[in-house]
Amino acid sequence: MAQMRIKHQEELTELHKKRGELAQSVIELNNQIQQKDKEIQSNEAKMQEYQQQIANLEGDCRELRSCLQDLERANQTLKDEYDALQITFSALEEKLRKTAEDNQELVSRWMAEKAQEANRLNAENEKDSRRRQAKLQKELADAAKEPLPIDPDDDIEVLAEDGGKGGGETSPNRPLSRTPSKKISQPPPGGLLDSISNIFGYKLLMAFLMLDWCFICVCLSLSLCVPAYVCVQEAHDGEVNAVRFSPGSRLLATGGMDRRVKLWEVIAGHCESKGALTGSNAGITSIDFDSAGSYLLAASNDFASRIWTVDDYRLRHTLTGHSGKVLSARFLLDNARIVSGSYDRTLKLWDLRSKVCMKTVFAGSSCNDIVCTEQCVMSGHFDKKVRFWDIRAESIVRELELLGRVTSLDLNHDRTELLTCSRDDLIKIIDLRTNAIRQTFRCVGFNVSLHKQENLLGSAINAVSWSSSGAYVASVEKGSKAILWSDM
């Protein structure tokens, strides 16, 4: 019995012990439950926050979808407008193309008619020029056989001008005053070129008068020896159209139908080739240097003008825009602009800094030559007129009509007098200060026509240039030669 009692006590003790352990476990579990409840509450709060964010994002998504739909509608509208504009542009482009074709056809027809007219005039002029040339050669041959003093009556005729007549024409039939001749045996007071300058009272720069120096000497009846050609160069492959001395007179430029501008250094009466300027697509018609001699400007038959640097022979600018041959191009005095005249009857003013055409002026007649002062451009035209343009106003200030088509122009050193040469076989000096013709020169046998005068070597002269030093004259000819002349 006692053993059972002890046994029951032990069991009871064991149960109390388990009860304490279980109570401890319950406490721990209650703590864990409380912790889990807190976690559940935290997760529920986060869930609500996330649900709120989801709701906000769904609202933003709806707004973005609405904006996307608006953008799609706007894009479709712009696409429709673009398609409509593209169709309109295509129609206008087609209309422009047809208009350009019609214009080109009209220009071609007009040029063909002008070419036929020019051919008829050429034929008439050639016949007349050949007849006069044959007569002149016969007279020269007869005169060469008789070493007699030249008759003063054969001197150049200077037509007196009425100073009160502002810029008017003088009739060739007015009384003539003559320049007295000197004897052949009397030595000239200076060089041939200076003597001619003294007679004219004018520093002539015969760059584009297309005259032969032997012919000039006979016409002027000067008692000087005929200048000798000191250098003859095969300058180009074909006809040579243009020649120009640089401002320093040491460099000579020639341009020909071989599409090149060649540079020559003049040393002690000899020409040494310095190089060639390439880039033109047609024959060269005109050459000009800037005032410093650093840049060279050339006009050509491919409707363009080009500028090269003289030092490295590099092509710097190509100025296109004319619809006909560019017959003349000149630097303005600021060297930052040039003016070009074309067979298309327009003059264009170009800005070399922006390389664009600043102004196009319709002159009404093809432009054969251009000269420039500080604020005025003077152009000679096929319709017998010399036009004076104000650069600032870009308009015609005045016009002067001659008796023949103007072939070339030039200015004296002070830019106060204009020299004109025209198809009426007259050379005129115009005083730019009074707008009056100061003197008119003519001579029997002097013909300004499409048939150029022939030089001592028997080839037709296309252009001449007088060096600024007055020591040399360069002429270029139809037979591919460049000739340097001097009486020194």
Tens of pLDDT along 92-148? 999 999 999 999 889 888 888 877 877 777 777 778 778 877 887 887 777 777 654
**Which of 73, 106, 139 is at the close of a domain?**
106
pLDDT of residue 75: 94
Q: Are residues 421 and 280 in the same domain?
A: yes
Residue 378, C-beta contacts closer than 8 angstroms, at least 6 positions apart: 370, 371, 372, 386, 387, 388, 389, 409, 418
pLDDT of residue 298: 94
Phi-psi region of 303 (alpha: psi -120 to 50; beta: other; left: phi over 0): left
Above pLDDT 90, what percent of the chain?
A: 31
Alpha carbons 339 and 297: distance in angstroms, whole number:
11
Residue 179 forms part of a structural domain: no
Asked if 475 contacts 213 with a C-beta cutoff of 8 angstroms, the reply is yes
For the segment 332-378, what is each residue's pLDDT rounded down to a tens digit?
A: 988 889 999 999 999 999 998 888 888 888 888 999 999 988 778 99
At residue 125, φ and ψ (nearest 5 deg) are -65, -40
For the segment 150-205, what is each residue's pLDDT rounded down to a tens digit?
A: 444 444 455 544 444 444 444 333 433 433 333 333 333 344 344 444 444 433 43
Cβ atoms within 10 Å, residue 128: 13
Between residues 456 and 13, which one has the greater pLDDT?
Answer: 13
Residue 90 forms part of a structural domain: yes
Which residue type does 184 have?
I
pLDDT of residue 205: 39
pLDDT of residue 296: 95
State the total domains in the chain. 2
CATH label of the domain that carries residue 341: 2.130.10.10
Residue 118 forms part of a structural domain: no
Residue 408 forms part of a structural domain: yes
At residue 387, φ and ψ (nearest 5 deg) are -110, 140
Q: Are residues 275 and 410 in the same domain?
A: yes
Domain residues for the domain of 53 are: 18-106
Between residues 450 and 389, which one has the greater pLDDT?
Answer: 389
pLDDT of residue 137: 81
Residue 165 forms part of a structural domain: no
Between residues 480 and 354, which one has the greater pLDDT?
Answer: 354
Structure tokens at 406: 């103007």
Asked if 296 contacts 287 with a C-beta cutoff of 8 angstroms, the reply is yes
Residue 142 forms part of a structural domain: no
Residue 244 forms part of a structural domain: yes
Asked if 408 contacts 418 with a C-beta cutoff of 8 angstroms, the reply is no
Please give, one letter per residue, the 3-state secondary structure of 346-401.
Answer: EEEEEECCCCEEEEEEECCCCEEEEEECCCEEEEEECCCEEEEEECCCCEEEEEEE
Q: Are residues 93 and 235 in the same domain?
A: no
**Which of 106, 129, 147 is at the close of a domain?**
106
pLDDT of residue 273: 87
pLDDT of residue 339: 93
Between residues 199 and 436, which one has the greater pLDDT?
Answer: 436
**Which of 106, 129, 162 is at the close of a domain?**
106
Q: Are residues 283 and 414 in the same domain?
A: yes
Q: Are residues 96 and 238 in the same domain?
A: no
pLDDT of residue 112: 84
Mean predicted confidence (pLDDT) in 6-26: 89
Identify the residue whose tokens are 């059972």. 4
Q: Are residues 294 and 427 in the same domain?
A: yes
pLDDT of residue 153: 47
pLDDT of residue 230: 64
Residue 287 forms part of a structural domain: yes
